Amino acid sequence: MSLRFGSFPVVVGSSAKVAEVLVKTQDLAYLDQSRMACDKHTVYNYSGMLWSHYEPYWRQLRKLWVTELLSARQLHLTERVRAEEVRAMLRDLHPATSTSTAAVVLKERLLMATLNVISRMVLGKKYVGEDGAGSDAAATPEEFRWMIEEIFFLNGALHVGDMVSWLGWLDAHGYVGRMKRLAQSSTGSSSTCCASTASGGDGRAACSCPGTWSTCCCICV
């Protein structure tokens, strides 16, 4: 099925057979996606793997993801971390469900469990937990939660410039301003992590997976 979003033609794979052709047989032809304002401002001018065009930089980035971040070895090394955080979440959840009839908001608990897994895998410590977050934490739990929610919202927000490129200057809903504030916050957090790694501080020494830590910081740079 063919559609048109503003100035951009869109192809929709409406069946399993067509989807296989798009993502497997003709993947290189459809690899480059339309560039959106959110990705320009929050992903360092389209430098992320999802939004970068197919070129040597993208191929190198994919190699890092496949061989370092998502390899079977790295997943095996971090299996203990994931299991520990799931058990910790269930331990915290049990008293809340056994002593009260009130509904439990699982979204918050799942988000914090995910945050703890990510921070232990990459930063070597948790933002929240029994030991709390250290003074050198890249971001507070509230800040990190805000960044996650904001990036999901802004990626789905309809900015008129994404559909009609010559109206890109028009920020009627204030989305571009929010994108820039989000980029500033995430850049500050990434800079803190990378600076700690470059200086060989305690954060790097405590990291559960040094290879993952170093690779993430290389990607940030």
Residue 180 pLDDT more than 60? Answer: yes
**How confident is the model at residue 203, as a pLDDT?**
44
The amino acid sitting at 219 is I
Helix 106-122 and helix 79-98, axial crossing angle in degrees, nearest 10: 150
Contacts of 216 (CB under 8 A, 6+ apart): 69, 122, 193
Cα-Cα end-to-end distance for the chain: 40
Quick one: pLDDT at residue 207? Answer: 45
> Which pLDDT band holds residue 210 (cuts at 50, 70, 90)?
very low
Across 195-203, average pLDDT: 58
pLDDT tier at 87, thresholds 50, 70, 90: very high
Task: Give the helix/strand (H/E) hosting 102.
Answer: none
| Least confident range of 117-121, 126-130, 205-209 | 205-209
- Listed in sequence order, the residues at least 6 apart from 103 whose beta carbon sits closer than 8 Å to its beta carbon are none
- How much is the pLDDT for 138? 63
Residue-wise pLDDT tens digits, 153-175: 998 888 888 888 888 888 888 99
Q: Where do the domains of the chain lie?
A: 1-30, 34-220
Cα angle, residue 85 at apex, residues 83 and 87 outer, rounded to 5°: 70
Identify the band that residue 199 occupies on the pLDDT scale cut at 50, 70 and 90.
low
Instruction: Work out the pLDDT band at 128, boundaries 50, 70, 90.
Output: low
18-27, pLDDT tens digit by residue? 888 887 877 7
> How many angstroms separate the CA atoms of 67 and 209, rounded?
14
pLDDT at 73 over 80: yes
The packing angle between helices 175-198 and 141-156, to 10°, is 130
Whether 123 contacts 138, CB under 8 Å: yes
State how far the Cα of 75 lies from the Cα of 153, in Å rounded to an integer: 29
Q: What percent of the chain has pLDDT over 90?
A: 8
